[in-house]
Amino acid sequence: MDIAKLKAWEMREKLLKKEISSTEILKSHLEVIDSVEMDINAFITVDRENAMETAKLVDEKIARGESLGVLAGLPIGLKDNIMTKDLRTTCASKMLENFIPPFDATVVRNIRREDGIILGKTNLDEFAMGGSTETSYFGNTKNPKNLEVVPGGSSGGSAAAVAANEVAISLGSDTGGSVRQPASYCGIVGIKPTYGMVSRYGVMPMSNSLDQVGQFGRDVRDAYLMLKGVSGFDPLDGTSSHKSGVNFELENASLKGLKIALPIEYRDLRVTGDEKIREVFDNTVKLFEREGAIIQYVSLPHLKYALETYYIISTAEVSTNLSRLDGIRYGYRTENYETLDELYTMSRTEAFGEEAKRRIMMGTYALSAGYQDEHYKKALKVRTLIKNDYDKTFEDHDVILSLTSPILPFPFDSIINSPVDMYKADLYTVPVNLAGLCAMSLPMGEVDGLPVGMQITGNRFQESKIIRAGYAFEKVVK
Amino acid sequence: MITKDEVNHIASIAKLKIKDDEISLFTEKFDQVMSFVQKIKEVDTENVEPTYKINDEDGFLKENGESQTLTREEVLRNTVDTQYGYFKILKVVE
């Protein structure tokens, strides 16, 4: 039996039935890593020894007949912007190349509590800024479905590791699509939970009002399992919600009677070459209809300003967040300085990559004297209008269906030099973060041999609706 | 149109330095991005309140109590230079 090819929930069932051990599960994944990681480069750090120790502890627990957590024995990849005590956390930046966190993020503590096995830290776009994982200081991650194209980003390493069977499930972070888009590109499932559902404590903030820790799995049940293991109210995160936590059945999920909204604005938001992807999507909508879902077109008139709004708000928050990296307390420090000001400036200039600098600059500009009202405040008001559009839609619809990305995973070096084109690919995912909603990307088919994902969006704290709809869809397609 | 001088000014606020041989290309890409976001100006936001935070729950404060967070050794572990148990940087006051 090739354990690493199983779904995470299957591994867990076999573990509970004592058909396989935690150590065997881990070894099977380590073998995959040994054979494919050289090509994929999903990881920045693989933590073999500690993973092996934890797996043994889980096996001992089983031997003693103790109760096990929901993530028991599952090898898990963590995006390398999630703090792990005593294990290097780089944010894929030269700035934090040697940073060893003195504490665990809450999601990491939750994984340990639930008997999960942290196998390593995965690659990302530098500080989670990008859509291809090409801005990483640690090299490109390849897409396991086709090594010539990007895995998406910014959580490209976490998506690729799950798609390549290097880990069973993984965590990423999603500020504007950074979990859903790589899930779509790698042909797996990715969840962006409601803002406040998963603790952000110990996750390097990119944009505090938009960031949320997301989950990857090879099917809907796996991604749901990962979410179950890490969600819950956290007093250490001031934006954590008391409504946090998920616990619902999947088995009886059905598409019958599900009220689905299709935003008409997405018909006009075209990008070149999206025809074939739209065809797959149209067929998917027909399938939902055949299964008894009720499809209605709705208008969310402010969706067409979501990208601009997102880039102003997110970069404003990026510029303030990354100001903590000053070369003093942690992070890279230049050798070229004579004054304190030069220490700051040269450390930051030498250690940040081009995209990080561009976004810091954009945010600084948007917040600078004379422009703040025109850019930042204006964007916050448009955000209100976008949120209102969604609130209205969810008054009489269960979920919204759309593409996850209007483009296919693209070849390396093809888009990165055109920032505006790269940003435009985020058109379906960013509004979800602006409105704090939950959404999931799951495979709906292929175009030219490459996976394409569908996005199911739900209202805040309606994870049960999107995940159950996704599960029901997945069952029909199988 | 954003000028090279404006780019250098913003860079100095952000404590970044754009190299002389990169400034032209950087300004060009930066201008592209900034003109792309200008589109939101056409939205009517009269009488619309800004959304700073999305959750409808009020934030909460932590109980004020004594607790050990990190040890001095842990705090200093990631810095380049320390002295007498402190971060060591340049002398800024004569």
pLDDT per residue over A389-402, tens digit each?
A: 999 999 999 999 99
Range of the domain at A53: 3-230
What is the pLDDT averaged over residues B42-71? 88
What is the pLDDT averaged over residues A327-350? 96
Residue A364 lies in a domain: no
A178 is catalytic: yes
Cβ contact (<8 Å) for A381 and B50?
Answer: yes
Check if the interface score ipTM surpasses 0.85.
yes
pTM exceeding the 0.90 threshold for the entire prediction: yes
Q: If pLDDT is split at 50, 70 and 90, which confidence band does B62 have?
A: confident
Count up the domains in chain A and report the number.
1
Q: Which of A178, A199, A240, A405 is catalytic?
A: A178
Residue A446 lies in a domain: no
| pLDDT score of A270 more than 80 | no
Neighbours of A278 (CB within 10 A): 16
Cβ contact (<8 Å) for B30 and A235?
Answer: no
Task: Tell me whether B43 touches chain A (CB under 8 Å).
Answer: yes
The DSSP code for A324 is G
Q: If pLDDT is split at 50, 70 and 90, which confidence band does A221 have?
A: very high
Residue A330 lies in a domain: no
Residue A58 lies in a domain: yes
The residue behind tokens 């939205």 is B43
Residue A435 lies in a domain: no
What is the pLDDT averaged over residues A422-433? 89
Kindly give the pairing relationship between strand A212-217 and strand A294-298. Answer: unpaired
Q: What percent of chain A has pLDDT over 70?
A: 99
Residue A35 lies in a domain: yes
At A314, give phi and psi (nearest 5°). Answer: -65, -40
User: Could you say which of B33, B51, B79 has the minimum Cβ distance to residue A383?
Assistant: B51
| Residues A407 and A177: beta-carbon distance below 8 Å | no
* C-alpha to C-alpha distance for A261 and A288, rounded to whole angstroms: 12
Most confident of A165-169, A268-272, B49-53: A165-169
Mean of pLDDT over chain A: 96
Per CB-CB distance under 8 Å, the chain B contacts of A366 are 37
Tens of pLDDT, residue by residue over A110-138, are: 999 999 999 999 999 999 999 999 999 99
Q: What is the pLDDT of residue B1?
A: 84
User: Could you say which of B16, B52, B57 has the minimum Cβ distance to residue A349?
Assistant: B16
* C-alpha to C-alpha distance for A110 and A102, rounded to whole angstroms: 17
| pLDDT score of A32 more than 80 | yes
| Structural element, H or E, at residue A433 | helix A430-434
Look at A230-234, A308-312, A372-376, B9-13 and tell me which has the smallest mean pLDDT: A372-376
- Give the orientation angle of helix A306-321 with respect to helix B23-37, to 10 degrees: 130
Residue A391 lies in a domain: no
* C-alpha to C-alpha distance for A35 and A19, rounded to whole angstroms: 25
Per CB-CB distance under 8 Å, the chain A contacts of B10 are 361, 364-365, 368
Question: Where are the extended beta strands (E) located within A223-354?
Answer: 259-263, 294-298
Q: What is the pLDDT of residue B33?
A: 85
Per CB-CB distance under 8 Å, the chain B contacts of A348 are 14-16
Task: Tell me whether B46 touches chain A (CB under 8 Å).
Answer: no
A22 is catalytic: no
Q: What is the pLDDT of residue B94?
A: 67
Cβ contact (<8 Å) for B15 and A377?
Answer: no
Q: What is the pLDDT of residue A440?
A: 98
| pLDDT score of A417 more than 70 | no
User: Could you say which of B11, B55, B57 has the minimum Cβ distance to residue A361?
Assistant: B11
| pLDDT score of A303 more than 90 | yes
Task: Tell me whether B25 touches chain A (CB under 8 Å).
Answer: no
| pLDDT score of A425 more than 90 | no
| pLDDT score of A416 more than 70 | no
- Domain ranges in chain B are 4-42
Nearest to A288 by CA among A402, A394, A421: A402
Query: The domain that contains A73 carries what CATH number?
Result: 3.90.1300.10
Closest chain B CA to residue A352: B16
Q: If pLDDT is split at 50, 70 and 90, which confidence band does A280 have?
A: very high
What is the pLDDT averaged over residues B17-43? 90
* C-alpha to C-alpha distance for A334 and A450, rounded to whole angstroms: 43
Task: Tell me whether B8 touches chain A (CB under 8 Å).
Answer: no
